[in-house]
Amino acid sequence: MSVSGDGPVAVVTGGARRLGRHLCSTLAARGFDLVVLYRTAEADAQSLTAAIEARGRHARALPVDVALEADVASVFRDIRATEGRLDLLVNNVGNYNPQHVTKLDPTAWDATLAANLSGAFYCCYHALPFMSDNGNIINVGMAGLEGIRANVHGTDYYVSKTGLLVLTRALAAAHADRRIRVNMVSPGQLDNSIDLPPPDKIGRTVPLGRAGHLDDVTQAVEYLLDASYVTGVNIDISGGYRL
Ligand SMILES: NC(=O)c1ccc[n+]([C@@H]2O[C@H](COP(=O)([O-])OP(=O)(O)OC[C@H]3O[C@@H](n4cnc5c(N)ncnc54)[C@H](OP(=O)(O)O)[C@@H]3O)[C@@H](O)[C@H]2O)c1
Domain containing residue 44: CATH number: 3.40.50.720
Ligand 1 atom nearest residue 211's Cα: 3
Structural element, H or E, at residue 88:
strand 86-91
What string of DSSP letters covers 187-239? Answer: E-SBTT-TTPPPTTTGGGT-TT-S-B-HHHHHHHHHHHHH-TT--S-EEEEST
Give the closest residue (by CA) to ligand 1 atom 46.
Answer: 94
In-domain check, residue 243: no
- Residues in contact with ligand 1 (CB, 6 Å cut-off): 13-14, 16-20, 38-41, 64-67, 92-96, 115, 119, 140, 142, 187, 189-190, 192-193
Q: Residue 72: helix, strand or coil by DSSP?
A: helix
Distance 116 CA to ligand 1 centre (A): 9
pLDDT at 3 exceeding the cut of 60: no
Ligand 1 atom nearest residue 157's Cα: 47
In-domain check, residue 3: no
The verdict on whether 122 is a catalytic residue reads no
pLDDT in tens, 190-241: 999 988 999 899 999 999 999 999 999 999 999 999 999 999 999 999 999 9
Domain total of the chain? 1
Cβ partners under 8 Å of residue 166, min gap 6: none
Distance 161 CA to ligand 1 centre (A): 12
Q: Contact, 218 vs 22, CB < 8 A?
A: yes
In-domain check, residue 1: no
Segments forming the whole domain that contains residue 154? 9-237
Q: Residue 107: helix, strand or coil by DSSP?
A: helix
In-domain check, residue 91: yes
The torsion of the CA quartet 50, 125, 168, 97, rounded to 10 degrees, works out to: 70
Give one word for 32, left, alpha or beta, with left for phi > 0 and alpha for psi -120 to 50: beta
In-domain check, residue 179: yes
Distance 91 CA to ligand 1 centre (A): 10
Cα 123-78-117 angle, rounded to 5 deg: 10
pLDDT in tens, 50-67: 999 999 999 999 999 999
Question: How far is residue 115 from each of residues 13, 39, 109, 112, 121, measured CA to CA in Å?
Answer: 11, 11, 10, 5, 10
Q: Contact, 133 vs 80, CB < 8 A?
A: no
Distance 115 CA to ligand 1 centre (A): 10
pTM of the model: 0.97
In-domain check, residue 2: no
In-domain check, residue 4: no
Binned at pLDDT 50, 70 and 90, residue 2 comes out as very low
Pocket test for ligand 1, best of 26, 47, 92, 113 (most atoms within 8 A of CB): 92
What string of DSSP letters covers 110-125? Answer: HHHHIIIIIHHHHHHH
Q: What percent of the chain has a predicted confidence (pLDDT) above 70?
A: 98
Binned at pLDDT 50, 70 and 90, residue 4 comes out as low
Q: Which one from 38, 96, 157, 241 is the annotated catalytic residue? A: 157
Distance 177 CA to ligand 1 centre (A): 31
- What CA–CA distance (Å, rounded) separates 188 from 204? 13
Burial class of residue 198 in the structure, from the number of CB atoms within 10 Å of its CB (0-12 exposed, 13-18 middle, 19+ buried)? exposed
In-domain check, residue 48: yes
Question: Looking at the DSSP assignment, which residues form a beta bridge with residue 5?
Answer: none
Ligand 1 atom nearest residue 41's Cα: 40
Pocket test for ligand 1, best of 95, 97, 117 (most atoms within 8 A of CB): 95
Q: Residue 149: helix, strand or coil by DSSP?
A: coil
Q: What percent of the chain has a predicted confidence (pLDDT) above 90?
A: 93
